[in-house]
Structure 1
Amino acid sequence: MRYEKGRKDASRGRILEVAAERFRKNGIAASGLATIMGDAGLTNGAFYPHFQSKAALVRETVAAALEDQSDEIRQALASGGLAMAIDTYLSAAHRDNPGKGCASAALLAEIAREPPETRQLYTERLLTQVHQVSVELPPQTPDPEGVAFAIFATLIGTLQLARAVEGTELSDRILAAGKAAARALIEQS
């Protein structure tokens, strides 16, 4: 049976989209291929023409999620600078939608356990994002890359804490404290 042109690419894209959301929402280990394929509207057997393994799917999913995040950082920086990027990242909307949110905040512990190829890809994408932020810092900043790393650590840790606690009031306080800490890093640079 012949399929229309582009169907394989569309199926691959759908698998990546579903996997990205599942991984960020439920974690890599908790997201089985059967569930991902079912959510994508495909059979388990349709997985291997697209990806050699789950590790390959994870690598491509992380790469795509970090590319999307770099685009979001670029847009936030262009529209409102670092303050806008911080406010957008540490928003209640971002906190409440992990499936569509930051791959780092959702997956860092699991990425650390992935094969070296995935960790290398993550490193490259992270360095791109750090550079995006470092060039926005005040020109007198003595170590812009170091400050950018500190900002990322503050944002990611804050989001993880805000998602982990029980109760919106406490979670909102954590987000506010993280915003203040990130801004202080910029002001002190």
Structure 2
Amino acid sequence: MRFEKGHKAATRRHIIDVASKCIRQDGISAAGIAGIMGEAGLTKGAFSPHFESKDALVREALASALSDQQHRLDEDRRTGLALEGAIRRYLNRAHLEDPANGCPSAALLPEVARQPLSTRQDYEKALRSYVSSLAALLPGADSAASRRRATAIFGLMVGTLQFARAVPDTIQAEQILEGGVEAALQLASV
């Protein structure tokens, strides 16, 4: 069967998008190739023409999720959203309840630490970019101190979201999120 020009690239992109959601929802270890391909509406046999291994797919799926996250923060900056707005957009109920479309760090950080070096290097590069964008929202944005503070703020936001996702009590989860917002804003104003 012949496919239209661009079909293979479009299929590959679709697999990456689906995998990105699956790994954030279920975790890297739990998201198997058969499940990802099934979610993509494809058979497991369609995997190998696109990726040499699950690690290769994970690397691209993680890069895609990180790129989406960077794009959202860049869009916040472009539209003039202040730091508080960016923090509140991150630490909110919608993000709490939708890990498949949310921050890959909050969903996957312990597993990213166990990935091959190339994947961790990609993560590190994306983290630096995200932190630089977040630092640009801080006073004294060009200083090394503001980048360190932005790193701490992002770490606080990631941890807050992880804690809030871990508790079944929605009221407590909301309190955790709000406490994270307050702490991040306090750290930002130091």
TM-score after normalising by structure 1: 0.96
1:142 CA drift (Å): 6.7
Instruction: Sort the Cα spacing of 1:135 and 1:55 in 2 relative to 1 into closer, same or farther, 3 A.
Output: same
SS at match of 2:189: helix
Farther-moved stretch of structure 1 (5-14 vs 137-146): 137-146
Q: Percent identical across equivalent pairs?
A: 47
Residues 30-69 of structure 1 aligned to structure 2 (within 5 Å): 30-69=30-69
Q: How many residues align?
A: 188
Aligned to 2:89: 88
* Structure 2, unaligned runs of 5 or more: none
For residues 126-153 of structure 1, the C-alpha deviation after alignment (integer angstroms, 9 at most, x for no partner) is 0000111112211286711110111011
1:53 CA drift (Å): 0.5
Aligned to 1:186: 188
Aligned AA (1:91): N
1:69 CA drift (Å): 0.4
1:5 CA drift (Å): 1.5
Farther-moved stretch of structure 1 (133-142 vs 157-166): 133-142
Aligned AA (2:50): H
1:21 CA drift (Å): 0.7
Aligned to 1:121: 122
Farther-moved stretch of structure 1 (70-79 vs 103-112): 70-79
Instruction: Sort the Cα spacing of 1:91 and 1:5 in 2 relative to 1 into closer, same or farther, 3 A.
Output: same
Aligned AA (1:174): I
SS at match of 1:138: coil
Aligned AA (1:15): I
Aligned AA (1:59): R
For residues 89-132 of structure 1, the C-alpha deviation after alignment (integer angstroms, 9 at most, x for no partner) is 00100001000000000000000000000000000000000111
**Take 1:48 and 1:28, find their aligned partners in 2: how far apart are those partners?**
18
TM-score after normalising by structure 2: 0.96
* Structure 1, unaligned runs of 5 or more: none
**Take 2:144 and 2:21, find their aligned partners in 1: how far apart are those partners?**
38
Give 2:169's match in structure 1, choosing from 167, 170, 186: 167
**Take 1:24 and 1:135, find their aligned partners in 2: how far apart are those partners?**
27
For residues 13-58 of structure 1, the C-alpha deviation after alignment (integer angstroms, 9 at most, x for no partner) is 1111111111000001001100111111111111111111000001
Residues 151-166 of structure 1 aligned to structure 2 (within 5 Å): 151-166=153-168
1:137 partnered with 2:138 = yes
Does the 8 A contact of 1:77 with 1:84 survive in 2? no
Aligned AA (1:154): L
Aligned to 1:107: 108
1:167 CA drift (Å): 1.1
Does the 8 A contact of 2:28 with 2:111 survive in 1? yes
